[in-house]
Structure 1
Amino acid sequence: MFKKVIKLFICRAGIFTGLLCVSVIFLATGAKIKDNPQPKILTEDMSKGSIQVVMTIDPAEIHLDKDAILTLKITSPSEIEVKMPDLEDRLIGFIQNGKLDKEPATHAGKTVYERQLLLSPVISDEYRLSPFPVTYVDKSKTPAETSWFPSKPVNFDIAPVIRGNVEKDIEVSMKPVWIYPPFKTVASYVVIFISAIILLMIAWKLFKRVRREIQLLRMSPKERALEELAELLAKDLVTKNLVKEFYVELTMIVRRYIEREHSIRAPEQTTEEFLDAVSNDQRFSREIITRLKTFLEAADLVKFAAYHPESDAITRATATAKDYVETDSAEGKVRQAAKGGNN
């Protein structure tokens, strides 16, 4: 007896559970159907007399993200032949992307003409089908009579973006909204900006270098040598204990001056080769050769023998270089004047 009661209880519980599941599924399905109603079809009757003209558009409301199908169906007595109108230039707010004409079908003394258009909505102030002429030929009369009548205009509603009640905190604003660019875009802009700065810096340095070279080329050998000497003293190499480097640059200033002024390749020659080259040159007096020999040999001791001169010796070497450039330049002008007088 107890076992029968248990079985009966389990059976009833199973039936109740099954009914409950079916109810839940029905309610869920019903709610889904309610939340997602099928789109409606707009129908407009434009008939006149014995000619029936019916236009339908699916869906009834225009969605900018969906195409619409417009169907024009004309039914007339079989003795009346209807010419299907061209609607392409009658549509406002649409692009016609397709057209399908069905073969006219006659049944029970009626002929049915049907045309379907595939329409793509575009952004427009209005969506409208303007009046179009319906042309027909009545063959029941002798002779056959051609006539027409206009349709009525049809305005289509555009579907709202949000259906139902709009929350109070939602505001409609036409102001532009800033959208943060992705990280890759920002990174690419930063790289481009940094690259542009680097290129500008390189271009500026090149410009300064070229401008400097042009200024030096426009200088006389004397002006250029004195300019280089001023730049050397501005480096203050002696105070930084870079005496050897100071003497290397100091002697090169004198050698480059001689090369520019007298066309002697002094920067590429050793002291002995240079002194041998100028010993028979009339432009170099014995006194000048002696001063240059003393100057260059003292510099060689510093450059090659690790000799560290006193500050007075460094001052005298600087003065010798400057004095030679200025004196030689003045003597050169005198020689040029003398040559001009002899000619």
Structure 2
Amino acid sequence: MDTIRLHTNKLPAIRIWLILGFFSLGCLSGFAQTTPKVTSNVDSTSIKIGEQIQYKIQVETDTTAQVMFPDGQTFAPMEVVEASPVDSIIIEDKLNLIKKYALTKFDSGTYNIPVQTVLINKIPYLLDSLKVKVANVAVDTTKQKMYDIKPLVEVEKNYSGWWKYIFYAFLALTIIGGLLYWFVFREKPLTREEKEALLPPYERAILELKKLDESKFLIQSEYKAYYSQLTNIVRSYLEEDVHITALESTTDELIGKLEMLKDAGNLDLDGETIVQFKKVLETADLVKFARSTPENAVIENDRKLIENIVVKTKEALPEPTEEELLQNEEYLEELARKKQKRKLIITAVASLLVLGITISAFGWYYGFGYVKDTIVGHPTKELAEREWIRSEYGFPPVSIETPKVLKRIKTELPAEAHNLISSNQIFGYGSMMSNFYITASSTTYKKGVEFDGQKAIDATIKSMEQQGAKNIILKDEEISTPTNKKGLKVYGSMQIDTPGNNGSHNAEYVLLNFTEGGGFQQVLIVYNEGDTYAGQIVERIINSIDFKTGS
């Protein structure tokens, strides 16, 4: 019984432990389901230059988890060519995520893909670093001969977009031409006054007499104005057709001139007509100066007499000779030439005015110095605004963007340098005497040689002095390229002797020094002092410097 009693007392305890055991297994099972699993692998650890490898990250986690994969250039020094979209699969209550990256490298060597981080519910999970070997492409020199680097080939300038400038120029010339045609060269419709002024003297006199009949001078009792205009009509006609000074002559002087022409046989006018004309002029003098008021019958008679005098004078004039007609034709031609000359003067003045306004507007907006350099031309401005070229120079290469391709410069190393330097390559454009001079060089040293950067800089300064530089002022500061490559910038001013005479000009220089990829790279820029365009070029070149080296 005791023994049985003992078992019956232990039975509840065993049940409790069994229940706790099952509960613990359930908790462990639940914990295992919610713990993420992150793995990575590559399809190959050895590739050739330019080939791609597939880097795959696989995450197994709960369906409600938030997962963030690596983004951007976190695989450096390997380069990300493509990142595929996340591929997701749900199996029961688990979420399986797969993210693939295509990686490559264009420099030979052994590279480590750095540790990558995957965030799951903001908790970081680190992946192991992987080593990848990038091999050179083997070249069989027994079958493939080796050749020297081909020289640079001059190509024609790229004129892409030229049609825009032609279009704008054509549009501006069209507008200016249209304005000149409309306001200067166009045969404008003549006004009524202009048409009347072109009529022959006789027809114009008859027309003016008719217009005088339609006036309101007599209705408003303006006799003085009426007679003044009446006599001016006939006087103007006589002055134009008979060629005598009639407008400024007194009555007696005018009648005397007509009688002299009649007696000389140059005007076949009867004496009665001259007498009647004298009476009308005397009446007009009384009205204008003595304020006399003529009767209506006298006014009507004087009006008829004036028209009769004009008609008879026209009939009395001899027919023009051939010489007179020729002189008249020459006179008309001279008038036409004067008119054409006037149009040309107006055109020239208008063109200069438009040009002046245009230049002033551009000068106000861009600055008069810039406009002057655009019109006249400026060598460094043309360099700054042309299409730039990016290229790599030397080995280890320095990548740089310049307005002109740098050409290889052949140099002979001093005898003492042969024991120190393994290779030295220099590329340049221009010369120390030109408006803009730039060189890019890359130097490697033999094994065991202790590199001294200051001595290398001193050697470059000495080379500048040998090319005509003097009074060189040295300043230096540390610089960093946009890709975070550190270097030393030596800069300042100097004077450069001009060959052929004793003169010199002031210049500025910038000497950039880097030690990248096991080599020593220098970029030297020399330009005229105060040249703002050259300053812009220097700044752009400095910001473009980069180095592509293995790590």
So what's the TM-score if we normalise by structure 1? 0.41
User: TM-score normalised to the size of structure 2?
Assistant: 0.26
Q: Looking at secondary structure, tell me which structure has more strand per residue.
A: 2
Greater helix proportion: 1
